[in-house]
Amino acid sequence: MAAGRDKDYVLTTVKERGIKFIRFWFTDVLGVMKSFAVTDTEVAGAFEEGMGFDGSSIDGFTRIEESDMVAYPDADTFQILPWRPNEHGVARMFCDVVRPDGSHFVGDPRYALKRILAKAKDMGYEMYVGPELEFFYFKDDKNTEVLDEGGYFDLTPLDLASDLRRDTVLTLEKLGIPVEYSHHEVAPSQHEIDLRYSEALAMADSVMTYRLTVKEVAMHQGVYATFMPKPLDGENGSGMHVHQSLFDLDGNNAFFDADDPQGYNLSKIAKHYIAGLLKYAPEFTAITNPLVNSYKRLVPGYEAPVYISWARRNRSAMVRVPMYKPGKELATRIELRSPDPTCNPYLAFAVMLGAGLKGIEEELELMPESTNDIFEMTEAELEAAGISTLPKDLGEAIERFEQSEVMKDILGEHIHSYYVENKKAEWADYITHVTPWEREKYLSVM
């Protein structure tokens, strides 16, 4: 891009600002950020030849015998980290991971997303996403002692959490991650910060940065922030609703159609895309909801989706279509409400886009909008309406994912098979454990 001037920009800025360390960031298959530091003098060489590292200890990368990996920094992602000292500051760049022979490494989630984005581009589309990540603040990481008892949109005076949220928003903006809204969520000590929409790859990088930033800022104030999907019994869990839209390459919103005969202002492309999400949701849920705990959030009664359906007003549907506001064609989008913030954002965006594009390719017909509150419907009514449910637990989700040729195709054999293996082990471990609920319920009576 721009004839290498971006690299010159990085090298000059490193020198001008007295930056001593540049952190190279990449993500393992499970969505955990990995980082190693490179000194200022090594950066020029790293642009040219990459930085070698041992991939065998990274989850989902390689086995011992083929462990040599090379990280190539993406100069466009160069960013000074605002929570580090100004003098001898620290910056970061996201990296692409390649093999020593220069070929793309298929276990790199960033590459998996790039691949499906390239496919979208071939079809004439670019994916934009705006995620809303919810999280809880607790006093520490050992207990779930909350900081406040506030509720949705509550303005709580003298509230440490709103200072925290403000600091987090300011830090995010310094990192080039503009924030749309931030507010108190429904549960006590639960907060939400919504990011302004951006291209999918940049947004996946932003989600990684966001999760780190929320935790860093909390740590500086001596509290703990968690994205665990369902930390408290009887309270709402934390989701990551993902607003998404396709733009054509001229910058028009491909989801908008003023002449939609159904009056939703949605194009055929949008309807096929939603139909694709609905059809493949059971297969991609293992990616968007990756933990045993994720499925404790996907239960009726806590504003999280359970049923595979779509609606405009009904927030219990899995896909929501926000109402169109006149003159806001560009904002036409759909919102997938099932994912949670512990997912690997590269893989999550990849499977959403992959499912949506599949819907377009297969010209899937969109089921009717679900208008009643689906949670009130009986099993028979649900079946009559053709509404099925998301996987009930990680075991079921991983089974559906394993059998899915579509997911294997989107993510590639390497990531697919590693993910299945890893998550099966997690599930197998979980089911051997007896929960406090079981002891409470059964011990004294059985």
Partner 1 sequence: METHRSTLSKRVLVISNDEYFRTEVATAIATMPVTVAWASLSDAQRRMAMGEFDTILLDAGDQTIALLETIERLDSNATLEAASAAVLVRISEDRLKALQFPQRIHCDFILDCASEIELVTRLRFLLWPKETPAADEIISDGPLTIDTATYQVRSYGESLDLAYLEYALLVFLVTHANRAHSREELLRRVWGGQYYGGSRTVDVHVRRVRAKLDPESAERLETVRGMGYLWRTS
Using the minimum distance from each CB to partner 1, give the nearer residue, 8 or 194: 8
Calculate Rg over the CA atoms of the chain.
22
Buried b (16+ CB within 10 A) or exposed e, 326-342: eeeeebbbbbbbbbbbb
Q: Is 356 left (phi over 0), alpha (psi -120 to 50) or beta?
A: alpha
Q: Which of 132, 205, 235, 283 is catalytic?
A: 132
Residues 157-176: x where in contact with partner 1 by CB under 8 A, - otherwise, as a string = ----------------xxxx
Q: Which of 141, 315, 362, 383 is catalytic?
A: 315
- 90 counts as binding partner 1 under rule CB under 8 A: no
Q: Is 376 left (phi over 0), alpha (psi -120 to 50) or beta?
A: alpha
Q: Which stretch binds partner 1 (CB under 8 A): 52-60, 70-78, 313-321, 390-398?
A: 70-78
Using the minimum distance from each CB to partner 1, give the nearer residue, 275 or 357: 357
Using the minimum distance from each CB to partner 1, give the nearer residue, 244 or 285: 244
**Site size with partner 1, rule: CB under 8 A:** 46
- Determine which helix (DSSP H) or strand (DSSP E) holds 283, and give its type and residue range: helix 268-288
Q: Out of 144, 162, 190, 198, point to the residue binding partner 1 (CB under 8 A).
A: 198
Q: In the chain, what is the straight-line distance between the N-terminal and C-terminal CA atoms, in Å?
A: 69
DSSP 366-412: PPPP--S-GGGS-HHHHHHTT--B--SSHHHHHHHHHT-HHHHHHH-
Q: Out of 58, 70, 71, 79, point to the residue binding partner 1 (CB under 8 A).
A: 79
Q: Which of 192, 205, 235, 283 is catalytic?
A: 192
- 430 counts as binding partner 1 under rule CB under 8 A: no
Residue type, 419: Y
Question: CA-CA distance, 137 to 139, in Å (whole number)?
Answer: 7
Q: Please, are residues 41 and 34 in contact by the beta-carbon 8 Å criterion?
A: no
Is residue 134 annotated as part of the catalytic site, yes or no? yes
- 64 counts as binding partner 1 under rule CB under 8 A: no
- 213 counts as binding partner 1 under rule CB under 8 A: no
Only one residue has tokens 């929960």, namely 435
Is residue 335 annotated as part of the catalytic site, yes or no? yes
- Determine which helix (DSSP H) or strand (DSSP E) holds 6, and give its type and residue range: helix 5-16
Site for partner 1 in 22-51 (CB under 8 A): 44, 47-48
- 4 counts as binding partner 1 under rule CB under 8 A: yes
What is the four-CA torsion angle of 99, 101, 106, 111, rounded to 10 degrees? 80
Using the minimum distance from each CB to partner 1, give the nearer residue, 1 or 446: 1
How many residues in total does the chain contain?
A: 446
CB of 127 to partner 1, least distance (A): 10
- 307 counts as binding partner 1 under rule CB under 8 A: no
Using the minimum distance from each CB to partner 1, give the nearer residue, 201 or 410: 201
Is residue 439 annotated as part of the catalytic site, yes or no? no
Using the minimum distance from each CB to partner 1, give the nearer residue, 45 or 300: 45
Q: Out of 52, 100, 151, 178, point to the residue binding partner 1 (CB under 8 A).
A: 178
Cβ-based burial of 45 (10 A; exposed 0-12, middle 13-18, buried ≥19): exposed
CB of 173 to partner 1, least distance (A): 4
Using the minimum distance from each CB to partner 1, give the nearer residue, 82 or 322: 82
Question: CA-CA distance, 52 to 42, in Å (whole number)?
Answer: 12
Q: How far, CA to CA in Å, does 53 sit from each of 24, 42, 178? A: 11, 14, 33
Is residue 381 annotated as part of the catalytic site, yes or no? no
Q: Which residues are the active-site residues? A: 54, 132, 134, 185, 192, 241, 315, 335, 337
Binding site for partner 1 (CB under 8 A): 1-13, 16-17, 44, 47-48, 75-80, 82, 121, 126, 128, 173-179, 196-199, 202, 247-251, 330
